[in-house]
Structure 1
Amino acid sequence: MAGAMVRIPVIRRSSDDIYEFPGTTVSLADMVLGFIEEVEVPPENTTSGSDEDDENSCSVEENKAFWEEQDQLLQATLCKTSSVESKIRQATKEAVREINSSSAEYCVCSRPVAGGCRKCLRTEICKRLIDSGYNCAICKSKWRSSTNAPAGEHTYLEVLDKSSKRGEIRVVIELNFRAEFEMARASENYNRLISWLPEVFVGKADRLRALIKILCCAAKTCMKEKKMHLGPWRKHKYVQTKWFGTLERSTPGSLPVGFSHGPPKPKASILTFDLLEAAMPAGLHCAGTAVEVV
């Protein structure tokens, strides 16, 4: 029947979680909820050009909705906290503040770095948290290469808290958190998402898992939008192994005084490298730069 109109339901991305932020100073857009939009489309006399325009318009809207949703989920996850996390986060802030304000050099490498290297900063923070009564340790995770991913290792701090009646709580302290997810050729949407991340992350293991899932999903979409290959080191399983793989746990006291493996070699997370780009990013050390815990 010529001229008849047909209603076509278009299902959009949905989220079952609704987050509220009482008292927060963070400016948030409304949560992106699932909905069905009815669009009137003439069944006849429709040109291929208009079909392409509708498809492109739908793609743009879905893309916008996706990134808005990721922003909401990321901020909601970062805003949540517990008394245990707040306590350890405050102790970490105090340790960093004392180190930054101290005139003493804490870098004990054979060739000390002006302002201290990240390895020695990690060790010094661990010592101060132990002195404050926390069960803190330096953790190093290692994994072998596979057909899908290269071998690697990652070092971070961990605090095991037993003050809760629910049992032991694992809190991860990552001193270079934001940089672990930076990409040299990222899109504007991805960079805006990453800008919400703190430089120093202090949070429970389940919170870290949630953040990794959000960020890896965003990285995958970013590479798809730019029509670039997603490196195996950006995939969810690989990234999660950095903090949840097999690890070696040690404390500064278990190492010989002045222990060193020699001159520190420049290192950067493989996540900071983009496809076909092997330039070493700046700021691999903490030289002369104050570290802020958010």
Structure 2
Amino acid sequence: LNRNPSLQFNMEFEEDSQGSCVVDEARLKLAIEQLRRMMKCSSATESEVKQVITDVREAASQQQAAVSCSAVAKALEERGFGVCVRTALGGGDGLDCLHNLRHHFLIVKPPRGLQGKPVAGATFIVDINFREQFQVAHATPHYRELIDQMDIEFIGAEPKLRAVIQMLCEEMARAYREQDISLPPWRQTSSMLSKWCPRRSEDYSADGKRQRPNAVMDSASYGAVPNGPKLPWDTGASGRSPTQRGSRLLTGWNGAN
């Protein structure tokens, strides 16, 4: 029995398309599961912080108000946490401003343990608007669904943050590549990471008071801190934070889209 060539081509195309859809769905499911595992709270302290953020969001929703870093910081302080609002200043000369992005997030230290002893290695990063940092205009259905399924906020130590950013940036680059669109420089992994591991940063208290002078913090020294990012009240033998080195203040850009 001879088949119509056109009909045979259509049938083969449909079979290939169905197979491709199955593969894409499986890859998406795997990516969502992996991202959820990476971002889930890994300690009771992180879970407590997440609950505080949830409570603040619910209270703000009832008042039809936006949730701010300072509001979450105040709520955490009421629970005994040490908190500062950190601003990544971004900026730079020429095209450097596209790789050093401006952003706001929290540096959190849990309440002291028994007998007032500090909890070792527990300082971590909290970003209440983490998901929106990875929302892009040129998203594929796969990438859009992945972002929609992830948590709104990030809570965790810097190594966890780096791993999550690496994965999301790889997925973002793939989405751009599949559409034959060049990935903007501010969407590269190192540029995205600069939002949370900045060269220059400023710290503020929950009520908006400046806590220390403009500082320089490169990614290498940031990652080398044994127990996570330094808080303004953590000082070395000299009485100064290792990140307190002189620098001029430059206005940064947050790298949207």
Q: TM-score w.r.t. structure 1 length?
A: 0.56
Q: Write out per-residue CA displacement over residues 245-284 of structure 1, whole angstroms, 9 at most, x where no aligned residue.
A: 242221034639xxxxxxxxxxx9534x2xxxxxxxxxxx
Q: 1:98 to 1:64 in 2, by over 3 A?
A: closer
Aligned partner of residue 252 in structure 1, secondary structure: coil
What does residue 93 of structure 1 align with?
A: 54
The correspondence for 2:31, drawn from 41, 54, 70, is 70
Preserved contact between residue 70 and residue 218 of structure 1 (Cα < 8 Å): no
Structure 2 stretches of 5 or more lacking a match? 1-12, 211-252
Give % identity. Answer: 20
Residue 242 of structure 2: aligned partner: none
Pair 1:235–1:253, CA change in 2 (3 A) = same
Q: 1:155 corresponds to which letter in structure 2?
A: H
- 1:123 matched to 2:67? The reply is no
Q: How many residues align?
A: 193
Match of 1:174?
Answer: 127
Aligned partners of 1:248, 1:236: CA distance in 2, in Å?
22
Structure 1 residue identity aligned to 2:108: V
- C-alpha RMSD over aligned residues: 3.2
User: Aligned match of 1:136 in 61, 80, 83?
Assistant: 83
1:99–1:189: structure 2 CA closer, same or farther, 3 Å change rule?
closer
Q: Give, as a single letter, the amino acid of the residue that structure 2 aligns with 1:249.
A: D
Contact 1:137 1:249 (C-alpha < 8 Å) held by counterparts: yes
2:255 maps to 270
Q: Secondary structure at the match of 2:196?
A: helix
Aligned to 1:154: 103
Give the secondary-structure state (helix, strand or coil) at the position aligned to 2:125.
strand
Q: In structure 1, what is the Cα distance between the partners aligned to 2:41 and 2:101?
A: 31
Give the whole-Å Cα distance in 2 for the aligned partners of 1:101 and 1:64. 37
Question: Which residue does the alignment assign to 2:181?
Answer: 228
Pick 1 or 2: higher relative contact order, CA cutoff 8 A, min separation 6.
2
1:212 aligned partner: 165
Deviations 1:101-152 (A, max 9, x none): 45xxxxxxxxxxxx4455xx22122112112211011110123336465243
Q: 1:205 Cα shift?
A: 2.6
Structure 2 residue corresponding to 1:185, chosen from 116, 138, 150? 138
Cα shift readout 1:188-247 (whole Å, capped 9, x = no counterpart): 111111112122333333222221111000011111111100011111111111012242
Among 200, 203, 211, the alignment partner of 1:249 is: 203
Q: Which has the larger radius of gyration?
A: 1
Consecutive unaligned residues of structure 1, counting only runs of 5 or more, are 1-52, 103-114, 257-267, 274-294
Distance 1:251-1:238 versus aligned 2 partners, 3 A rule: same
**How far apart are 1:95 and its partner, in Å?**
3.0
The AA in structure 2 aligned to 1:270 is: G
Q: 1:78 to 1:245 in 2, by over 3 A?
A: same
